């Protein structure tokens, strides 16, 4: 389970959606870190066009890791040119952040994020998110612990295939008086990115921050404008960031006031962040939160999350956010009245996909779960469906869709986890081609790597239609988790 997923589950359970719907069956993971190597090290078997290749352990990660290792995030700047990031456990039992880069279809050797060791004197670091604007031009962010056991955040940029030195998020130290968490990074173009997360202020209240990179230089972190006026309950987080172009991004998350928990969005336009607003149309008397945003172009975005016990989507067109709607058809699937949208991806304005999880029953202690996908085509959302083939795989009745990525309209990929008849967790992927979803399959080759199950796809990214990468974790030798890409 990634740090983001742990936080989402805390958020959802606090909202009272369900007492115990656990995302996956894995032990909690520290924030991960991605590292990239310059020397090509391994290449998975080349698949036929549009077919998934065999999973491989991230090259070099076994040499670094003496315990658990996890890929938290993958991102592709173009077909065959991607980056992955996460964390591994060193010989002292401390978590460290890594990155690895794929170039022309070959994965290089995983490396510890340059400069992170000097920051991570408390021995707890990891990359939570990676974003690539183009081949060899990426950014990553995550968390680390200093010698005083303070939890802080870092960012690091890759330029022309070379990772720079990690730095503490500029200005966040002045804002943060407790714990800081960076959840997501997004790049609109090479050297122009944004990141967001949460921190604790001097009053012990949670606040949300954003920080922007312009022309390769990271600016100062700021509190999301207008959020303090909304956040009377002192509990806010920025869960997701997406940039449609340089200086034009959107963030989404949750805040609390006297009425409860609410979902918000805020836009950056021409490099200036506007005020946060409550997502239009969300029921004011119902707990809600935005878990994912995606912007294919400036001012054209989609957001998804939960309100009450249902999942919602909302769309921004030409800079104006429309009213949130319940995901069409989800109520009919959601027999357990516990559903949420975890990931949204838009290939172009009005052409998006949303994925998430819903409950199969109303068991108050542990609800069985299933994964769904819903597609927006030409500005109209279709009905949510169970990911094709997932019912047959999910004999153990615990499936979760964690990530979706769309390279072009009607060409997307999803990934997540299901439990088989032996209640062993397995990782799956499924692909949409020309508007038609194929059947979910276990990640090819992962069964031969696993010795204890516990497979999961945490992140999917498509560089072009039919050329996608998935990353996550599987149970390997000595009961440890290992990071993989496919």
Owner of token pair 């276990």: 442
What proportion of the chain, given as a percentage, has pLDDT over 70? 88
Alpha-carbon span 84 to 190, nearest angstrom: 17
Owner of token pair 């303090």: 228
Alpha-carbon span 169 to 138, nearest angstrom: 16
Alpha-carbon span 367 to 397, nearest angstrom: 9
Q: Which pLDDT score, from 0 to 100, does residue 336 have?
A: 72
Alpha-carbon span 13 to 272, nearest angstrom: 34
Q: 53-85: per-residue pLDDT in tens?
A: 999 999 999 999 999 999 999 999 999 999 999
List Cβ neighbours of 50 (8 Å cut-off, separation of 6 or more). Answer: 431, 433, 466
> With 80 as the cut, is the pLDDT of residue 242 above it?
yes
Alpha-carbon span 421 to 39, nearest angstrom: 41
Q: Are 324 and 313 contacting, i.e. CB atoms less than 8 angstroms apart?
A: yes
Alpha-carbon span 436 to 454, nearest angstrom: 29
Question: Does 192 reside within a domain?
Answer: yes
Could you tell me the CA-to-CA distances from 472 to 32, 159, 277, 309 in Å, in that order?
Answer: 11, 25, 34, 28
| Residues listed for the chain | 486
Question: Does 412 reside within a domain?
Answer: no
List Cβ neighbours of 333 (8 Å cut-off, separation of 6 or more). Answer: 339, 358, 370, 372, 384, 386
Q: Which pLDDT score, from 0 to 100, does residue 478 have?
A: 79
Alpha-carbon span 107 to 44, nearest angstrom: 9
> With 60 as the cut, is the pLDDT of residue 6 above it?
no
pLDDT band for position 23 (cuts 50, 70, 90): very low
Q: Are 265 and 303 contacting, i.e. CB atoms less than 8 angstroms apart?
A: yes
Q: Which pLDDT score, from 0 to 100, does residue 32 have?
A: 34
pTM above 0.85, yes or no: yes
Alpha-carbon span 299 to 321, nearest angstrom: 9
Q: Which pLDDT score, from 0 to 100, does residue 284 have?
A: 63
Residue 255 half-sphere exposure toward CB, CA atoms < 13 A:
28
Question: Does 84 reside within a domain?
Answer: no
Alpha-carbon span 29 to 8, nearest angstrom: 13
> With 60 as the cut, is the pLDDT of residue 48 above it?
no
In eight-state DSSP terms, residue 123 is S
Question: Does 47 reside within a domain?
Answer: no
Question: Does 7 reside within a domain?
Answer: no
Question: Does 54 reside within a domain?
Answer: no
Alpha-carbon span 58 to 68, nearest angstrom: 13
pLDDT band for position 35 (cuts 50, 70, 90): very low
Q: 159-212: per-residue pLDDT in tens?
A: 999 999 999 999 999 999 989 999 999 999 999 999 999 999 998 999 999 999
Alpha-carbon span 211 to 62, nearest angstrom: 33
* Count of structural domains, the chain: 1
User: Within a 10 A sphere around the Cβ of 91, how many other Cβ atoms?
Assistant: 9
Could you tell me the CA-to-CA distances from 332 to 305, 308, 356, 358, 414 in Å, in that order?
Answer: 18, 16, 15, 10, 22
Domain that holds residue 197: 169-278
Question: Does 237 reside within a domain?
Answer: yes
> With 70 as the cut, is the pLDDT of residue 19 above it?
no
Q: 83-113: per-residue pLDDT in tens?
A: 999 999 999 999 999 999 999 999 999 999 9
- Residue 116's Cβ-count burial label (10 Å; 0-12, 13-18, 19+) is buried
What average pLDDT does the segment 376-394 reach?
A: 97
In eight-state DSSP terms, residue 38 is S
Q: Are 141 and 209 contacting, i.e. CB atoms less than 8 angstroms apart?
A: no
> With 50 as the cut, is the pLDDT of residue 151 above it?
yes
Which token pair is 148? Answer: 């005083």
User: To the nearest whole number, what is the mean pLDDT of the chain?
Assistant: 89
Question: Does 211 reside within a domain?
Answer: yes
Residue 368: what are its φ and ψ, rounded to 5°?
-70, 150
């Amino acid at each position: 389970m990634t740090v983001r997923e742990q936080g989402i589950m805390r958020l959802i359970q606090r909202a009272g959606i369900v007492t115990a719907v656990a995302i996956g069956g894995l032990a909690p993971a520290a924030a991960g870190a991605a590292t990239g190597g310059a020397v090509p090290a391994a290449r998975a078997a080349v698949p036929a066009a549009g077919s998934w290749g065999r999973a491989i352990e991230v090259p070099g990660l076994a040499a670094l890791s003496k315990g658990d290792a996890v890929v938290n995030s993958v991102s592709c700047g173009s077909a065959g040119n991607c980056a992955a990031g996460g964390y591994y456990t060193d010989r002292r039992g401390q978590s460290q952040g890594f990155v690895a880069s794929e170039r022309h279809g070959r994965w290089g050797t995983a490396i510890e994020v340059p400069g992170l060791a000097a920051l991570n004197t408390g021995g707890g670091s990891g990359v939570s998110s990676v974003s690539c604007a183009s081949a060899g031009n990426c950014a990553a962010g995550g968390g680390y612990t200093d010698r005083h056991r303070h939890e802080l955040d870092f960012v690091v940029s890759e330029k022309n295939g070379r990772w720079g030195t990690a730095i503490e998020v500029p200005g966040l130290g002045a804002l943060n008086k407790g714990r800081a968490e960076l959840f997501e990074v997004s790049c609109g173009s090479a050297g122009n990115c944004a990141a967001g997360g949460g921190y604790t202020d001097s009053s012990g209240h949670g606040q949300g921050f954003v920080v922007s990179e312009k022309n390769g230089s990271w600016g100062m972190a700021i509190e999301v404008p207008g959020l303090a006026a909304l956040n009377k309950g002192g509990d806010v987080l920025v869960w997701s960031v997406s940039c449609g172009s340089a200086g034009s991004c959107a963030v989404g998350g949750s805040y609390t006031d006297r009425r409860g928990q609410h979902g918000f969005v805020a836009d950056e336009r021409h490099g200036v962040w506007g005020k946060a607003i409550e997502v239009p149309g969300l029921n004011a008397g119902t707990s809600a939160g935005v878990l994912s945003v995606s912007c294919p172009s400036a001012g054209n975005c989609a957001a998804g999350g939960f309100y009450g016990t249902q999942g919602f989507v909302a769309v921004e067109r030409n800079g104006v956010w429309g009213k949130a709607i319940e995901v069409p058809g989800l109520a009919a699937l959601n027999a357990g009245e516990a559903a949420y949208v975890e990931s949204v991806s838009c290939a172009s304005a009005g052409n998006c996909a949303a994925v998430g999880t819903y409950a199969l029953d109303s068991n108050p202690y542990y609800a069985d779960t299933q994964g769904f996908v819903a597609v927006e085509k030409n500005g109209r959302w279709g009905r949510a469906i169970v990911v094709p083939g997932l019912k047959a795989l999910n004999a153990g009745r615990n499936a979760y869709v964690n990530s979706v990525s769309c390279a072009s309209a009607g060409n997307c990929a999803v990934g997540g986890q299901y439990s088989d008849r032996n209640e062993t967790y397995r990782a799956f992927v499924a692909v949409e081609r020309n508007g038609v979803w194929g059947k979910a399959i276990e990640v090819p080759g992962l069964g031969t790597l696993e010795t204890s199950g516990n497979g999961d796809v945490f992140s999917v990214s498509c560089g072009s239609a039919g050329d996608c990468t998935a990353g996550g974790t599987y149970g390997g030798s000595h009961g440890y988790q290992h990071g993989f890409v496919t």
